[in-house]
């Protein structure tokens, strides 16, 4: 598995993965009408210099991504991440999260946040296993990781 930064050449890969998210959400009766088309993601996330997207490839196939950006001068926020259904349980989400956390650390953010719906048990487990602090809100959990220069990004 390899992790690399998103480039414009990867837009079709991201588009395919977003279509997978929509299909999966419909199958699970969790369709989110806020999931937009790829043009929305380009305008909202990819064209903003304060945001960062990393891609995971497995046997030269893009199978996951993570998108984050600056919430404020001290806080980096993960907006969304996804790993294709057939590639889960292979450590890909963990590696994506480690990569974006390290990016936030090296860019001098003091903490990183990730909001997770209470129904997303896999993401909840990922954050808990990584040692992130959990804050409770009515519809979601906010996971917070304090960033220090020499601290490991995710517990083994």
Whether 151 is in a domain gets the answer no
Average pLDDT rounded to a whole number, residues 112-122: 92
Question: Residues of the chain with pLDDT > 90: what percent?
Answer: 61
Whether 152 is in a domain gets the answer no
Contact 79, 71 (CB under 8 A): no
Whether 35 is in a domain gets the answer yes
Whether 155 is in a domain gets the answer no
Provide the whole-model pTM.
0.86
Can you give the residue range of the structural domain that contains 109? 2-146
Domain count, the chain: 1
Whether 64 is in a domain gets the answer yes
CATH at residue 107? 3.40.630.30
Q: What is the mean pLDDT of the chain?
A: 87
- Residue 59 CA to residue 63 CA, distance in Å, equals 9
CA distances from 6 to 34, 40, 90, 104, 118 (A): 22, 16, 21, 16, 28
Average pLDDT rounded to a whole number, residues 59-67: 93
- Residue 79 CA to residue 70 CA, distance in Å, equals 10
Whether 156 is in a domain gets the answer no
């Amino acid at each position: 598995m390899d992790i690399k930064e998103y480039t414009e050449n990867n837009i079709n890969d991201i588009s395919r993965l977003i279509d997978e998210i929509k299909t999966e959400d419909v199958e699970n009766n969790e369709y989110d009408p806020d999931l937009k088309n790829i043009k929305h993601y380009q305008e909202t996330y990819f064209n903003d210099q304060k945001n960062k997207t990393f891609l995971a490839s497995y046997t030269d196939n893009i199978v996951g991504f993570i998108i984050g950006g600056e919430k404020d001068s001290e806080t980096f926020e993960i907006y969304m991440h996804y790993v294709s259904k057939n590639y889960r349980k292979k450590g890909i989400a963990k590696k994506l999260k480690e990569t974006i956390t390290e990016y936030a650390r090296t860019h001098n953010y003091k903490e990183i946040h990730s909001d997770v719906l209470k129904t997303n048990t896999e993401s909840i487990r990922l954050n808990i296993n990584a040692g992130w602090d959990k804050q409770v809100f009515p519809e979601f959990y906010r996971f917070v990781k304090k960033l220090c220069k020499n601290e490991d990004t995710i517990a083994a």
